[in-house]
Structure 1
């Protein structure tokens, strides 16, 4: 796996005055998990986030990823793009299990996949991301208890792993292009990198 693409544990941890708690902000290619009473927040365009928690112990986390645009192999379950997605999901799930979560107690809420990026050669990238995250969780027998996927608007997601509460704010007016630029840069990094062929994800 190219180091530029490895999932990074978010380092932007701060005190959120609005919610009066510690918070972690995650960017594309990052994830965060915690056992503590805190908030994980991200802004999604075409990318998707899976919020996964152990509903008994409250240990939970969130990732933020995008499938790379991979030309004609989008329909293949073993395509390079699917492997990136599987890697992003496995990293979060494995960290939760190491932190004490039990697989049979895991539940997920999934968000994102908006049609906000232009210029991709395959079907809408947000739609592919949404299809992938649903399919992955179904294969892993992790129940999706809530979702807000697709549409044309970016969204800001606030996730409280201890309780499983999620607040989603649709960003109808995106006055700056920071989000779109960030996702385009991330998509470009994915497109120019090769996924290693000898990593067994399952």
Structure 2
């Protein structure tokens, strides 16, 4: 597994090893050891982002942890797109004409309820690792993702833009299991119609 989340800077890692109590890490509760020195630099970097990959726990929006082994579905809410050409968003939008996707949130669905919810938002995690970027101006409150692939991918609920699955593929499935399609029941909630 590993290698998906960028290593924290050396000064931060040294500070974590020296004074772990200053960083709010939950390694005693969700990690493999109560001694911070038992963790690699990669593991420390993950924990700083709320990831405990060995034990399978992730810090989600709302400041609570879920066990990722209980996740059965994932998705995002796509609100709008931008294009280099003028488009009528009430008609099907050709995937190759989209420049940027703007999503309201990414979420994971668990089989069992945690904190009274089965739907858990992971915007802060994906934003911290800089996979989704906070929108500006008229896109404030949304997150942006570029349309690199310019193609769609088939999931159980139909065809969706490949770039929208990218954060789940690498930074959820990849980080926790090293299997990029472990959870591939992926929904895109949107009123937009995207054609290919």
The TM-score, its normalising length taken from structure 1, stands at: 0.26
The TM-score, its normalising length taken from structure 2, stands at: 0.26
